[in-house]
Amino acid sequence: MTAAHRNDGIDPAARTRARRRAVQALYAWELGGNAMHKVIEDFRSEQDMQIADLEYFEDLLRGVEAHCKELDAGLTPFLDRDIERVDPIERAVLRLAAYELRHRLDVPYRVVLNEAVEVTKRFGADQGHTYVNGVLDKLARQWRAAESPARP
C-alpha cells in the first residue's frame, strides 16, 4: 500500500497542499488583518485549492484562530525570542504544527514535524527549517510524550 492509496481515505498529497495553503493563509491573516472567514473565502476561490484537502485546510485555519493563545503559550518556552519577533512565515508554520500536535492526534507527530520542516524550506528564510524543527521537536516531546522518544 502506497501513501497515496491509504485505506482511511486520506490523501497525503492533498493534505500537504492544504498545509502549504494554510501557512500562506495564516501569513495573510496575520499581516492583512482580515477576519479568518474572509481569508478562507479568498483562498477557497483560488483555482489550485481544488487539489488540496479543503476540509483539512479549513480545520487548520479555524483551529489556529480558536487556539492561538494556547498554541503560543505552548511554543513560548522553546523559543529564543518573543513569538511576535519570530519570522512571520516561521510563526505561521509553528502555530499550524502546534495545532496539529495538540488537536489533531490522528496525525502522527513525525508527520507534523516533517511537513512543518518541508513547508518552511519552501516558504521560509534560509535555515528557518532548522529553527522550526528544533522548537517543534521539543514541543512534541512535551505534548506527544507517548509518541515522541525521550531524548536529552
Q: What is the pLDDT of residue 40?
A: 92
Residue with cell 522548537: 135
Q: What is the pLDDT of residue 48?
A: 67
- Inform me whether the pLDDT recorded for 94 exceeds 80: yes
CATH number of the domain at 3-143, please?
Answer: 1.10.940.10
- Show me where the domains of the chain are located: 3-143
Q: What would the pLDDT profile of 108-144 be if each residue is shown by its tens digit?
A: 999 999 999 999 999 999 999 999 999 999 999 999 9
- Inform me whether the pLDDT recorded for 21 exceeds 90: yes
pLDDT mean across residues, the chain? 90
Contact 134, 143 (CB under 8 A): no
Rounded mean pLDDT of 105-109?
A: 95
pTM, whole model, 2 decimals?
0.90
The C-alpha cell at 57 is 485546510
- Inform me whether the pLDDT recorded for 26 exceeds 90: yes
